Chains A and B, each alone.
Chain A
Amino acid sequence: MAARLAAGDDHALAEVFDAVARSVYGSALRVVGDASAAQDVVQDVFVELWTHPDRYDPAAGTLRTYLVVLARHRAVDLIRSEFRRLARQERTYRLTPEPGPVGVGDEMLAAETAGLVRAAVQLLPASQRRVVELVYFEGLTCREVASAVGIPEGTAKSRLRLALARLETLLDRQLLESS
């Protein structure tokens, strides 16, 4: 099959898709927790297989295993990049005099439903966890969070910043363990 892919036989690609796409999709979905993001991962995985079939080494395992593991790695990369983007967004937000809502309705919604993300949030200190839940799951601004929790706005921002840094570390570890 690898030789057919290398020879440019697209029928072989379709055969591989039909045989393993559900497993690849399932692998991605378990990590990202969102159907749309998981479909993007599946597309990335098969485009990678088609454009670089020589990267698959049959001696190292089955094609199914290779693609499922590749999907998991791509999904982990997707989550990591989302958190890095959110961290950048949060830093920008802190420097904005009249901040608007933080990240609500954006691509974070795809990742926030993931079991792994929710599990990571549960590992945060209670004070930080509360801020994250209010900002990302309930859509409050830092000013509204400060009012709801009864802390200064600067403290809310500080807790959010610390929580994001901590989440990235926690998530990396969890994703690594799940691999």
Chain B
Amino acid sequence: MTAADREPPLLPPGLRERVLAASLRARDTGRPVPDAPEISAAEAFSRAASAFYTALCFLSDDDWRTPVLRDLDVQGLVGHLIGVEHDVRRALAGDPAVADADHVESTQAAAVRQAAGAPAGTRAEWRHAADRTLDLVRSADGRAVVALHGLRLPVRMLLIVRAFELWTHENDIRQAVGWAASVPDPSTLRLMTDLAARLVPQAGVGLGEATDVRLVLTGPGGGTWDVTVGSGPPTATSVAIVTDAVGFCRLAANRVTPAELDVSVAGDPARAAAVLFAVTTLALD
């Protein structure tokens, strides 16, 4: 056999375009395979709350005293979340006092108050608070905009932010007491990755010249997003960032740094690094 015999034949003109077009007719760009079953934002919040509560049920009394975040131990952190649920309900009722309240300051009293009580009481109070929120949001219009802790966002998005927050704090606790990290189910994770990816332009608004970013989040709950980052004049710059969906969520929760992320970049590495750093400022925790 000669080298010419082994050389594959040239492709007929137009075959590439024909094949790629047929492929995209069969499956849209961006949707993962296998795709996770779609769930509502309320369901995502409910699942995150269940996972958080289950973790609380396995904590020993000593675990509840473990320092976990800022100046809070586990019980204080759960107290902070009781305060958040209280503020969420006020926001849903249209209370302007929580619209621009600071997320930490506004809940600090609730966090401190728990220190005097038994862990079981704190756990039950948080479960009750989360259930009351769920009761309210299940009958709420998901498109209605609420104002809470400096954010203005639809109820549906708020619930995904809350799912993000509960998952992040569940893992804060897990890390503090030496447990393995948890991963949201693919349906919940898909809502979280979609939210975080769509917020990337907002995070990168100060990055100067506009850059087209293709964000490819791999694994269950992942997908592909094309966003433009930066507010300056458009340029021909584009970068592609490929990373794991769960890792990206940890980045968006500011729990890992870009350097700790297993990431593959095509395009300008400095530009990609700036985008990834911007993602950490989303602080979805």
Interface size on B, residues (CB 8 A): 32
Does B27 sit at the interface, judged by CB under 8 A? yes
- A 1-39 contacts with B by CB, 8 A: 3-14, 17-18, 21-23, 25-26, 29, 35, 39
Report Cα–Cα, A87/B220, bound state, in Å: 47
Report Cα–Cα, A26/B20, bound state, in Å: 18
Which residues of chain A have C-beta atoms less than 8 A from B9's C-beta? 22, 25-26, 29
Report Cα–Cα, A52/B35, bound state, in Å: 11
The A interface is mostly helix, strand or loop, or mixed, namely helix
Does A54 sit at the interface, judged by CB under 8 A? yes
- B 21-43 contacts with A by CB, 8 A: 22-24, 26-34
The answer to whether residues A7 and B26 also contact, given A26-B9, A39-B15 and a CB cut-off of 8 A, is no
**Least Cβ distance of B266 to chain A in Å?**
9
| Structural contact, B12 and A22, CB atoms closer than 8 A | no
| Structural contact, A53 and B33, CB atoms closer than 8 A | yes
Shortest Cβ distance from B264 into A: residue: A4
Does B236 sit at the interface, judged by CB under 8 A? no
Interface size on A, residues (CB 8 A): 32
The answer to whether residues A8 and B8 also contact, given A13-B23, A14-B20, A46-B19 and a CB cut-off of 8 A, is no
Does A42 sit at the interface, judged by CB under 8 A? yes
The answer to whether residues A21 and B32 also contact, given A9-B224, A35-B12 and a CB cut-off of 8 A, is no
Does A47 sit at the interface, judged by CB under 8 A? yes
Report Cα–Cα, A12/B30, bound state, in Å: 12
Residue from A3, A14, A22 with most neighbouring chain B CB atoms (10 Å)? A3
| Structural contact, B23 and A54, CB atoms closer than 8 A | no
**Which of the residues A4, A11, A29 comes within 8 Å of B218, measured between beta carbons?**
A4
| Structural contact, A43 and B33, CB atoms closer than 8 A | no
**B 198-221 binary contact with A (CB < 8 Å = 1; else 0):** 000000000000000010111100
**Which of the residues A7, A14, A25 comes within 8 Å of B15, measured between beta carbons?**
A25
Does A179 sit at the interface, judged by CB under 8 A? no
Task: Give the top 6 A-B pairs by smallest Cβ distance, nearest first.
Answer: A22-B8, A26-B8, A3-B218, A50-B23, A8-B224, A10-B29
Q: Contacts A43-B15, A46-B22, A51-B23 given; 14 further ones with Cβ under 8 A?
A: A6-B33, A6-B34, A6-B222, A7-B224, A7-B242, A8-B30, A10-B23, A10-B29, A21-B16, A23-B8, A25-B15, A43-B19, A47-B23, A50-B26
List 11 A–B pairs whose Cβ atoms lie within 8 Å, in order of A's numbering: A8-B27, A9-B214, A11-B214, A13-B23, A17-B16, A22-B9, A29-B9, A39-B12, A39-B18, A46-B23, A51-B26
Which residues of B pack against A, CB within 8 Å?
Answer: 8-12, 15-16, 18-20, 22-24, 26-34, 214, 216-219, 222-224, 240, 242
Which residues of A pack against B, CB within 8 Å?
Answer: 3-14, 17-18, 21-23, 25-26, 29, 35, 39, 42-43, 46-47, 49-54
